[in-house]
Structure 1
Amino acid sequence: MSNTRTDTGTLLALTFVVSFCSFAYEFVYSELLTVMYGGTVTQYVITVGLYFFSLGIGAALSDDLDATDLGGNFFRTEVFLAAVAPAGFLLIVALNSVRIPQSIPSEVIWMTARLPVVVVGFLSGFELPLLTHMVDELEDGEATMPNWLRSTCGQIHEIMVSILGTVWNVKRTDGRRSGLSLVLAMDYVGGLAGAVVYARVLYPGIGLIPTIFVLALLNGIAALVFVAHFGDWAWWPVGGGKRTSRELSIGHVSKTLLVVCLVLTASYAGVVAKHDTADEQLSELYLEQQIENRYPPGAMRATVTSQETTTYQHVIRYNRTWTGTGPNPYFTGRTEQCLRLGSAVQLCESWADSYHQGLVDVPMSLVEPGPKTNVLVVGGGDWIAIDHLREYDVSVDHVDLDGEFMQQAKTDPFFRTWHDDAYEYDRLNTTTADGYHYLQETNETYDLVLLDIPGATDDDLLTLYSAEFYRSVRNHLSDEGVVATWGYSPDSYPQHHKAFVNTVGTAGFTNQLSYWVREDLDSDGQSERVEKFYVFAPGERRPLTGDGETAYVRTHEQYRTVKWHAVPRYRGVRVNSIFHPNYDILVDT
């Protein structure tokens, strides 16, 4: 009977492990698809839905597996999961790292990218039915549960029945629990553990890429422990020997499959042991291919020089080198440094100055310079906008969510080139917080609000593009205050532009001033458009040029034609709200 208790305990422990992995795979794929395609809510909802659909299909077909080979089928399932899960992860990365012919419909790419979710869900659907049948196949009687587990479950059972008895009519059930109830209970516990450990330990601790190999390693170990304990040749200290006809059925295990399992498990153990190196190399391979994808084939080579992940974003520095024929149309020289945050390029040497001139030096023509002018900067954790504001001797409140990034940018040589230690400015007050929540709590009013925030590439940023956020900004403006932000071109992103403008208009901004910043990026004597900017106001404001214009505006003739206009209103285009998001405001970069 002691062997039976050990057998049941082993199966329940394996249930915990495989459920842990199954739930965590779901989150890994959801996050990976979010990184690749954006839209956190969309990707998580679709992934969860596909996963449970596939789980149900697998469970329904599990009855067609040979009942005389329950153990063998369980072993095969774990080996296949250990092989398929990382392969599916790499498939999704590959789909976003190579140039896909335009003749292939986007729907095909969409389905292919989600195929790993379906396969992993389908295979996971086999696990619980197989484990349930194996637990039921062991000796009958309460003793099939290990003493420690029976005692723990008994105490929890008593508490739960007492709670249920306050509302429902209950009848206490003593004695043996069915295999289904035992396996389901352990499955739910394992699922919870997988969710918590993934969110609190694995993903923030080692990153997305090593996590998939940790989970696959656990699947491989589960397969090896199972076959070692229940196999006819078992050498496991608490297993061993032939099983009687009333005990677990484990058919012939292919030696080839066993070798494959051993090789996979050993390989994953090596990857996990060197997870920093594996993460860096795979990330750089993907990023370099993806960055190069933005340019014509063979025209640009990207080389990642450093990368790190803060609590809120993935920070990548890279060099881009012109490798095309003819003159380089993108920047002066052959190579320049760039900064990428998440899925979007944030800063390149060729346009770092012109971007911040458009963000700061142009709208400063609309307010008075000096200590009595209050400016709020939302974002701008690289401190460069602060450096430009310092030239006007204004008082600055600066709020950014990512304290880690701000701290790194203070001393990093790349950033110091542009911000010149602006964080030491004596009229600067920096707060590490979310911009939306900061505005909900502060009583300050501002003459100028600068939004130096990431583009709307992910629904994590929907709050900063919502009517509620812009309404809060408007409520914190002084009588002559304005808000300035960079924006996407309406020609390139028409749906985003319409949703964005309608959202800002709904928040109470009636007038807008839009302009391009131009720069001779490649030193060919001709200036090119760099970034689009908008200034919004809830009423009439003074012209951009005139007595109060900044030196930058004065020396650039292009601003003479920039005039205030009414904020347009597009029919049939819904605004973006926190509680009713309009996903048209998101862009695919």
Structure 2
Amino acid sequence: MTETSTRPSTRLPVPPRVARFLVLTAVFVCAACGLVYELALVAIGSYLLGDTITQASVVLSVMVFAMGVGSLLSKRLQGNPALSFAVVEGLLSLVGGLSVLLLYGAFAWFSAYQPALVLLAFVIGALIGVEIPLLMTLIQRIRKQDASEAVADLFAADYVGGLLGGLAFPFLLLPLLGLPKGSVTVGALNAVVGVAVVLWLFRSQLGRRAYAALTCGLIVVLGALGLAFAYADQFEVDARQALYRDPIVHAERSEYQEIVLTRSLDGDDVRMFLNGSLQFSSLDEYRYHESLIHPVMDGPRADVLVLGGGDGLALREILAYDDVSSVTVVDLDPAVVELASTDPVISDLNGDSFEDPRVRVVHTDAFRWLRENGREFDAVVADLPDGDDVGTSKLYSAEFYALVAEALPENGRLVVQAGSPFFAPEAFWSVGHTLEEAGLAATPYNVDVPSFGNWGFYLATTGGAPAPALPDDAPPLRFLDDDLLAAALVFPRDRRDPGVEASTLMRPSVIEYHQGAWRGY
């Protein structure tokens, strides 16, 4: 190491080597905290909106730009770098620690999520951008060295700290504390390390008033974060309730999603939401599930595969046929199946379908399971979430349907829930083209489900396009009959195929079509 001087330019309470180590440790911790803030902004966006790619792109681009702005602004703060660094870290810990709660509140009460996200990403990025230039000055005041070597040391500590923060976020903070409390905890750590290092190590550069102000500021920041930690759970409950019309009777965040049950004040309408999207209403779910299941059961049905359907309601309709010998349910989230099996209202609604000995449940990704599957099924039911984000779009890809086709015998059938032909016509018709791309012949049909609106399905085979019909031995139904099913084949002129393209893994056009859907409704 080339040094111009080994004598510190400021009085320190410890030898220069130790002081330098402490500053680099602070760089390490602050870098870890900064990356956690960044990941938290992406995570809350994916939780609330589901569009991970867009949220990550917005956060990363805004923060990187803001870091450049912050680096330029740091020129004005070099007069007293120790004081400036402590103030920056105090502000960063407060804004970053509270960012998740602030965004949740903006989403729940003010419908201002996107502006709030951009603002917070910019503020956090700018504060992070100020850090390194100030730290460079502090390092040089401890012991002069070549700028290139000082930068190398700082960036090494910064990057390794980023690695720690990136790994701690999904494997430690989220499992132990959850997103709101985890962010607050990291904010408190950021404040203690960033401000305390200055208060102790560089106290000779601070006047009495500055020292007292920083001490009080640290206490205020920690107090605010402590209150936020204490009331985070109640805040989340209140914000979540603001998003739903009816009182919430159950809420949990599983490994994969947020699961919410609501019940109307009269007790008649129980609804399940996954990540804010309605899955069913007890008032009219039978319309959806009768339309989904009974046409696909008009043929061989001894062995049935259900992809999704963790609420057990499609399973209820399948098990009404005594000649069904086995049903395999592949659903990613065990928490949904557990709730559907134990909640008295839902288990009563699905007829305790998961207790039937003919049912086998597999908790894994449907795409992965199909790739490894070597078995054929007479009927396949794809009752999956809409393909409106990266995680679910692959379940509406030509590659996915090709795997399904491999699991069908020559006379096997597939039914797909395909969203709303009225509210999302491009996404709906894209599913049909994607089935054709995979070598399946499909027939579209649609019904009205009041809680969803107009809803559509595809019945497909590996042979010719099938004509949806009810089995001769269909059980008594509340909604569907032959006349209604014949009418379900008719689509109004303004909701017919607009000429869209198929969706693939490399070109998930279904995401784009969903993004343009439901506008004005």
Kept after mapping to 1: 8 A contact 2:460/2:466: no
CA 1:309–1:279: 2 relative to 1, 3 Å: farther
User: Aligned residue for 1:46?
Assistant: 58
CA 1:317–1:257: 2 relative to 1, 3 Å: farther
Is 1:541–2:466 an aligned residue pair? yes
Which stretch shows the higher mean deviation, 553-562 or 282-291?
Answer: 553-562
Deviations 1:485-534 (A, max 9, x none): 32322221133224333322322233314131557x8xxxxxx9674333
CA 1:255–1:336: 2 relative to 1, 3 Å: farther
Is 1:358–2:291 an aligned residue pair? yes
| CA deviation after TM superposition for structure 1 residue 550, in Å | 5.1
SS class of match (1:479) = coil
User: Aligned residue for 2:350?
Assistant: 419
| CA deviation after TM superposition for structure 1 residue 35, in Å | 2.3
Is 1:61–2:32 an aligned residue pair? no
Which residue, out of 68, 89, 93, partners 1:82? 93
Which residue, out of 220, 229, 253, partners 1:309? 253
CA 1:558–1:9: 2 relative to 1, 3 Å: same
Q: Distance in 2 between matches of 1:391 and 1:205?
A: 43
Which residue, out of 375, 390, 393, partners 2:304? 375
Q: TM-score, normalised by structure 2?
A: 0.86
How do 1:243-282 residues align onto structure 2 when only pairs under 5 Å count? Answer: 249-250=205-206, 253=210, 255-256=212-213, 258-272=215-229, 274=230, 278-282=231-235
CA 1:353–1:494: 2 relative to 1, 3 Å: closer
Q: Distance in 1 between matches of 2:414 and 2:440?
A: 10
| CA deviation after TM superposition for structure 1 residue 547, in Å | 4.0
Is 1:287–2:240 an aligned residue pair? yes
Which residue, out of 326, 339, 345, partners 2:278? 345
Identity percentage of aligned residues:
23
Which residue, out of 183, 186, 192, partners 2:163? 192
Kept after mapping to 1: 8 A contact 2:67/2:128: yes
Q: Distance in 2 between matches of 1:267 and 1:29?
A: 20
CA 1:315–1:440: 2 relative to 1, 3 Å: same
| CA deviation after TM superposition for structure 1 residue 476, in Å | 1.8
Which residue, out of 117, 121, 142, partners 1:117? 121
Q: Distance in 2 between matches of 1:78 and 1:99?
A: 29
Which residue, out of 5, 8, 18, partners 2:30? 18
| CA deviation after TM superposition for structure 1 residue 183, in Å | 1.4
Is 1:586–2:514 an aligned residue pair? yes
Is 1:215–2:186 an aligned residue pair? yes
| CA deviation after TM superposition for structure 1 residue 438, in Å | 1.3
Q: Distance in 2 between matches of 1:546 and 1:445?
A: 21
- The runs of 5 or more residues in structure 1 that have no matched partner are 101-107, 142-174, 233-241, 243-248, 293-301, 322-332, 522-527
| CA deviation after TM superposition for structure 1 residue 137, in Å | 1.0
How do 1:424-439 residues align onto structure 2 when only pairs under 5 Å count? Answer: 424-439=355-370
CA 1:507–1:570: 2 relative to 1, 3 Å: farther
Is 1:97–2:21 an aligned residue pair? no
Which residue, out of 336, 339, 351, partners 2:269? 336
Q: Distance in 1 between matches of 2:413 and 2:474?
A: 15
| CA deviation after TM superposition for structure 1 residue 453, in Å | 1.5
Which residue, out of 515, 524, 532, partners 2:446? 515
| CA deviation after TM superposition for structure 1 residue 72, in Å | 0.3
Which stretch shows the higher mean deviation, 432-441 or 397-406?
Answer: 397-406
User: Aligned residue for 1:132?
Assistant: 136
Q: TM-score, normalised by structure 1?
A: 0.77
User: Aligned residue for 1:484?
Assistant: 415
Q: Distance in 2 between matches of 1:529 and 1:42?
A: 27
Q: Distance in 2 between matches of 1:189 and 1:279?
A: 30
Counting matched residue pairs gives 496
User: Aligned residue for 1:496?
Assistant: 427
| CA deviation after TM superposition for structure 1 residue 25, in Å | 0.7
Which residue, out of 201, 204, 210, partners 1:230? 201
Whichever residue aligns with residue 584 of structure 1, its letter is E
| CA deviation after TM superposition for structure 1 residue 359, in Å | 2.1
When Rg is computed on C-alpha atoms for both structures, the one with the higher figure is 1
SS class of match (2:243) = helix
Kept after mapping to 2: 8 A contact 1:499/1:574: yes
Which stretch shows the higher mean deviation, 282-291 or 546-555?
Answer: 546-555
Which residue, out of 73, 92, 111, partners 2:84? 73
- The runs of 5 or more residues in structure 2 that have no matched partner are 1-6, 8-13
| CA deviation after TM superposition for structure 1 residue 42, in Å | 2.1
User: Aligned residue for 1:406?
Assistant: 337
Kept after mapping to 1: 8 A contact 2:62/2:122: yes
Q: Distance in 2 between matches of 1:556 and 1:541?
A: 15
Q: Distance in 2 between matches of 1:530 and 1:497?
A: 11
SS class of match (1:533) = strand
SS class of match (1:178) = helix
CA 1:464–1:531: 2 relative to 1, 3 Å: same
Which stretch shows the higher mean deviation, 550-559 or 38-47?
Answer: 550-559
Whichever residue aligns with residue 218 of structure 2, its letter is C
User: Aligned residue for 2:313?
Assistant: 384
